[in-house]
Chains A and B, each alone.
Chain A
Amino acid sequence: MPNERIPDMGSTITIEKPVFNLLLSRLKEEGYLPIGPRVKNETLVYDEIESIDDLPQGYSTKQKPGNFRLVHEKHSRFFDIIPGAQSWKQFLFPSHTELFAMRKNGKSWEISSQPMEPPKYAFIGVRACELAAIQIQDGIFMREDFTDPHYRARRIHAFVISVNCTQPAGTCFCTSMGTGPRVKEEFDVNLTELDDVFVLTIGSEVARRLLAGIPFDDASGYILSNVERKLEHAEHQMTRKLDSSDLPNLIIDHLDHPYWLEIGKRCLSCTNCTQVCPTCFCWDTQDEMSLDGKTTRRNRLWDSCFNPGYSHQAGGNTRPTIYSRYRQWLSHKLGTWKEQFGTLGCVGCGRCITWCPAEIDITEEIAALRNEVNR
């Protein structure tokens, strides 16, 4: 029933699906730039969302190692897709950032930087695994002893509408990593899609204010049990597992195991896994100099430990082989990451499995390494 109430913090409400447009309008009035999943060039990307019609209604995704397909199915749901190659990383930690510019002034250089005025993002449809990934990157870029100003400027005002996954993809394994499919915290609004309504949980005061006056109902016990059933169903559907009980030691204690050579035979060293990974954060800084030698720009670009130039330094390449680069990636992601940042670097989103052209599957490789080690 339409009402003038303001939903309580932590409460769960339902809205009619078209009412979501009101929330989008409110966000825009408040200066937010809504970003969400969209179909563009016949594939799934994260891009600006004007209205609910821009969301991939009726679409689903089929994912397996080395294979992603966006399929149009005869349903009317907006959030049935499981994210593709892109992640929120591209907005918070863009692939290309100008850090500063220098201009020659006589014999010295003047340093200037562009004003940091990134858009105020509203992320729509953030999955539990993606939220966990954002929290991991928060811990990397917004540490107590050092905060990356570019990341911070993009992150602190971001409004997050998370979505509970009810249809995991074939490469998902978030249950193993303890990140999903259920969103638990760190959202402004958490959404579960049922056939006829959106079920929203209010997670912040900003969200309360934005939803003031928007027609909603309190979620009934029937609705809540329906949500619960869908989430349990999603958890059971997720058959892919990554046993992390003996990590990081399984990797750290067996860096010289011959199994790494086996993986190296199949790896293309193409960098795809690291680029689609929502927690990978390696970058390179490059100077872009003008022809007259008077100005130069220092840029930060996404880089990868699979780039042969990444570990090239005076005296040569410390990781001259493909297997040593794969081992580096995995022994960081599922090994030393824990010591460095307090958690493993994997959230179980499955992107590195889906987007590996060589179909290398992190869950299978860990299981295989364990088998080899225990033989």
Chain B
Amino acid sequence: MTTKKPTVAVYKFSSCDGCQLSILNMEDDLLDLADAIDIAYFLEATRAQKPGPYDIAIVEGSITTPHEIERIKEVRATAKTVVALGTCATAGGIQALRNFANAEEFARVVYGHPEYLHYLETATPLSEHIPVDLELWGCPVNKAQVIEVIVALLNNRLPNLPPYSVCLECKRRGTICVLVDKGIPCIGPATQAGCGAICPTIGRGCYGCFGPARDVNPGAMATMLRQLERYPGETARLFRGISGYAPTFRTIVDDILPANEEAQ
């Protein structure tokens, strides 16, 4: 990789394109990025395409259709390194809420002719279908983390991606804890850092879009948050959001749902 620029392909699966836009939104770093890598396939950015195989595949979106299962396998087969980009790719994203409900019912409500749809019952992360080398969480991803991953791959080292909670980022920024100071429900203590604690810094609770931190204490999180609930079932709703299908967050909700009956 040191002599020749690595070829990079950026793919979209079921997603809103926001994470791809985060790459395009790198402003000052974009020209350096174009110098450092060979963008071989990135339809959101350019029509020009170079054939694979590629050194790095950056994949946005979750797997929601039978066709996508086939496509993601092709991506894996033609790339040395696969990076899952954003919480759709790492945990299924917001569309994975259907995993807790009836997808057919959703389709009937949303679409005039659901019979034309070919979809799976569940929206799932890439890792349920292929081996993934690196996961970048976030809705959308943090562009500094995208750069860190690319720099790490260019230099054959592990990227520096924090396993700790958002709390540490709040404290580094001087943000005062919204849980303790205002009684605002916040799932930052269970959420992986990386966003820069943007929500607590503007006075609102974290809703977990960066997915679970490593070694979350599900029982203690639920106990703490349920004391702060502003309406019944709020805790379950907080965890059942963008990263709701992430196994740790599923565990937390499963533990509290029997007591709350239903919280969609």
Q: Mark B110-153, 1 if CB is under 8 A from A, else 0.
A: 00000000000000000000000000000000000001001100
Q: Distance in Å from the Cβ of B112 to the closest Cβ of chain A?
A: 47
Query: With an 8 A cutoff between CB atoms, is B198 at the interface?
Result: no
Contact A90/B168 with A267-B217, A308-B163 known, Cβ cut-off 8 Å: no
Contact A66/B180 with A95-B171, A309-B214 known, Cβ cut-off 8 Å: yes
Query: Which of B154, B172, B214, B215 is packed against the most chain A CB atoms within 10 Å?
Result: B215
Let me know if B181 and A302 touch, CB within 8 A.
Answer: no
Contact A85/B167 with A265-B219, A268-B189, A292-B36 known, Cβ cut-off 8 Å: no
Contacts of A242 in B (CB 8 A): none
Let me know if B163 and A85 touch, CB within 8 A.
Answer: no
Q: Distance in Å from the Cβ of B163 to the closest Cβ of chain A?
A: 5
Let me know if A271 and B168 touch, CB within 8 A.
Answer: yes
Compute how far the CA of A84 lies from the CA of B174 in the bound complex, rounded to whole angstroms: 11
Closest to B152 in A: A289
Q: Which of B27-35, B54-62, B78-86, B234-242 faces chain A?
A: B27-35
Contacts of B154 in A (CB 8 A): 291, 293
Let me know if B181 and A308 touch, CB within 8 A.
Answer: no
Let me know if B180 and A308 touch, CB within 8 A.
Answer: no
Query: With an 8 A cutoff between CB atoms, is B45 at the interface?
Result: no
Query: With an 8 A cutoff between CB atoms, is A366 at the interface?
Result: no
A41-61 residues with Cβ-Cβ distance < 8 A to B are 41-45
Which of B29, B167, B203 lies in contact with A41, CB distance below 8 A?
Answer: B203
Let me know if A268 and B190 touch, CB within 8 A.
Answer: yes
Query: With an 8 A cutoff between CB atoms, is B101 at the interface?
Result: no
Query: With an 8 A cutoff between CB atoms, is A357 at the interface?
Result: yes
Q: Distance in Å from the Cβ of A308 to the closest Cβ of chain B?
A: 4
Compute how far the CA of A293 lies from the CA of B219 in the bound complex, rounded to whole angstroms: 44
Contacts of A307 in B (CB 8 A): 162-164, 168
Let me know if A90 and B174 touch, CB within 8 A.
Answer: yes
Q: Mark B214-249, 1 if CB is under 8 A from A, else 0.
A: 111101110110000000000000000000000000
Closest to B160 in A: A286
Compute how far the CA of A310 lies from the CA of B216 in the bound complex, rounded to whole angstroms: 15
Compute how far the CA of A272 lies from the CA of B189 in the bound complex, rounded to whole angstroms: 9
Query: With an 8 A cutoff between CB atoms, is B8 at the interface?
Result: no
Let me know if B180 and A354 touch, CB within 8 A.
Answer: yes
Let me know if A67 and B180 touch, CB within 8 A.
Answer: yes
Compute how far the CA of A45 lies from the CA of B170 in the bound complex, rounded to whole angstroms: 13
Closest to B151 in A: A289
Let me know if B167 and A84 touch, CB within 8 A.
Answer: no
Compute how far the CA of A42 lies from the CA of B181 in the bound complex, rounded to whole angstroms: 9
Q: Mark B155-189, 1 if CB is under 8 A from A, else 0.
A: 10000101111011001111011011111000011
Contact A268/B221 with A289-B151, A293-B154, A307-B163 known, Cβ cut-off 8 Å: yes
Contacts of B177 in A (CB 8 A): 68, 85, 272, 355, 357
Compute how far the CA of A293 lies from the CA of B177 in the bound complex, rounded to whole angstroms: 37
Contacts of A68 in B (CB 8 A): 177, 180-181
Query: With an 8 A cutoff between CB atoms, is A128 at the interface?
Result: no
Contact A322/B217 with A68-B180, A301-B172 known, Cβ cut-off 8 Å: yes
Compute how far the CA of A267 lies from the CA of B221 in the bound complex, rounded to whole angstroms: 9
Query: With an 8 A cutoff between CB atoms, is A275 at the interface?
Result: yes
Let me know if A95 and B172 touch, CB within 8 A.
Answer: yes
How many residues on B have C-beta within 8 angstroms of the other chain's C-beta atoms?
A: 42
Query: Which of A68, A268, A302, A307 is packed against the most chain B CB atoms within 10 Å?
Result: A268
Compute how far the CA of A358 lies from the CA of B160 in the bound complex, rounded to whole angstroms: 28
A284-338 residues with Cβ-Cβ distance < 8 A to B are 286-287, 289-293, 301-304, 306-310, 312, 320-322
Which of B151, B171, B181, B214 lies in contact with A43, CB distance below 8 A?
Answer: B181
Let me know if A95 and B174 touch, CB within 8 A.
Answer: yes
Contact A291/B162 with A95-B174, A302-B168, A308-B214 known, Cβ cut-off 8 Å: no
Contacts of A268 in B (CB 8 A): 165, 189-190, 216-217, 220-221, 224
Q: Distance in Å from the Cβ of B187 to the closest Cβ of chain A?
A: 10
Let me know if A269 and B181 touch, CB within 8 A.
Answer: no
Let me know if B162 and A309 touch, CB within 8 A.
Answer: yes
Q: Mark A337-375, 1 if CB is under 8 A from B, else 0.
A: 000000000000000001111110000000000000000
Query: With an 8 A cutoff between CB atoms, is A25 at the interface?
Result: no
Contacts of B216 in A (CB 8 A): 268-269
Compute how far the CA of A287 lies from the CA of B174 in the bound complex, rounded to whole angstroms: 22
Compute how far the CA of A302 lies from the CA of B167 in the bound complex, rounded to whole angstroms: 12
Query: Which of B33, B168, B188, B224 is packed against the most chain A CB atoms within 10 Å?
Result: B168
Which of A66, A272, A291, A356 lies in contact with B151, CB distance below 8 A?
Answer: A291
Query: With an 8 A cutoff between CB atoms, is A96 at the interface?
Result: yes
Contacts of B217 in A (CB 8 A): 264-269, 322
Compute how far the CA of A272 lies from the CA of B18 in the bound complex, rounded to whole angstroms: 31
Query: With an 8 A cutoff between CB atoms, is A276 at the interface?
Result: yes
Q: Distance in Å from the Cβ of B106 to the closest Cβ of chain A?
A: 34
Q: Mark B184-206, 1 if CB is under 8 A from A, else 0.
A: 00001110000000000001000
Query: With an 8 A cutoff between CB atoms, is A176 at the interface?
Result: no
Which of A69, A70, A275, A359 lies in contact with B167, CB distance below 8 A?
Answer: A275
The 4 closest A-B pairs by CB, nearest first: A275-B171, A270-B189, A95-B172, A307-B164
Given contacts A95-B173, A308-B214, 6 further A-B contacts (CB under 8 A): A68-B177, A268-B189, A290-B32, A291-B29, A307-B164, A322-B217
Which residues from chain A sit less than 8 Å from chain B, CB to CB? 41-45, 66-70, 84-86, 90, 95-96, 264-272, 275-276, 286-287, 289-293, 301-304, 306-310, 312, 320-322, 354-359
* Listed A/B pairs (22) with beta-carbon separation below 8 Å: A41-B203, A42-B182, A66-B224, A68-B180, A84-B181, A85-B176, A90-B174, A267-B220, A270-B189, A271-B168, A286-B160, A287-B160, A290-B151, A291-B32, A291-B36, A291-B150, A292-B32, A292-B36, A302-B168, A306-B164, A307-B163, A310-B164
